[in-house]
Amino acid sequence: MTDLLRLLVVADGRVPRVQAAWRELEAFLGGQLGVEVVAVETGNSLDLSAFSADLVVVLGGDGAILRACRQMASRQLPILGVNLGRLGFLADLSPEEFRANFEPIRQRAYHVVQHLMFECILTPAQGTPQTYLGLNEVVISSGAALRMIDVQLAINGEPVTTYSGDGLIVSTPVGSTAHSLSAGGPLLRQDLQAFVITPICPHTLTNRPLVDGADCLYTLTMPDIPIGVILVVDGQIRVPLNAGDRIDIRRAPVAFQMAKVPGSSYYATLHRKLGWGGQPNYRR
């Protein structure tokens, strides 16, 4: 392979451990042939969609990958995450594993898996609609209201139910290992084309997580809403909600492209990250 492997690097300059890891990686890449770093994003301010690259290397945790996806907007490039955070379901490789696997990466031996992304359209009772691109989930949270809220769900215009509780999560399969999982939602294979709706602390015990198709339109409304309720997209965008606001969630026209090195798999990641390798010890 003689073609240059063009890399776009995302390394948050505000996080010391990320910058330290980038300095080490920069020195490593400087000694490799057939590699070009086209740009380094350190301030979460570059328009990543303006760059052409074979691979986006994101240093950090899953949150850094979520931000990078939004920065790429309609021009999604394959992302390889180098985990410097905690769990790291998306940022799967450690810095040491990245260096150990670099020759297959340089030879483009990785494969790219496309995953569902969503558009969240907030139509306020008064004001201009806003559209947010996301990868993990949309959350309506009671937040500072400190009281139970009622969220009405409709799918493709058909009323489904009203969830009463601390809020509601609409998650992609990628996001099923995040907030939805902690709220009791199911794990979905990341390449499934579906959404999961998970209530947060539902007051009605028969309200359980619901899985439906990715091509449906999910509409959330709250005719009566206390002050303090917020809309949260991917844990990073927070918007106050008011009575009469409508939230529509649908499949995005673009997909998240995850680069996987040889030998990695979804279930191997779950096994490692969730500690599925051990068995409970019932002996005292």
The set of catalytic residues is 62
H helix count then E strand count, the chain = 6, 16
Rounded Cα distance between 200 and 206, Å, is 13
Phi, psi of 113 (to 5 degrees): -110, 130
Which residue type, as a one-letter code, is found at position 137? E
- Which residue(s) pair with 260 in the sheet? 111
Q: Where are the beta strands (DSSP E) in 42-110?
A: 55-60, 79-83
DSSP state letter for 187: P
Phi, psi of 252 (to 5 degrees): -80, 155
Rounded Cα distance between 49 and 70, Å, is 10
Which residue type, as a one-letter code, is found at position 209? P
Among the listed residues 105, 12, 112, 6, the one whose alpha carbon sits nearest the alpha carbon of residue 65: 12
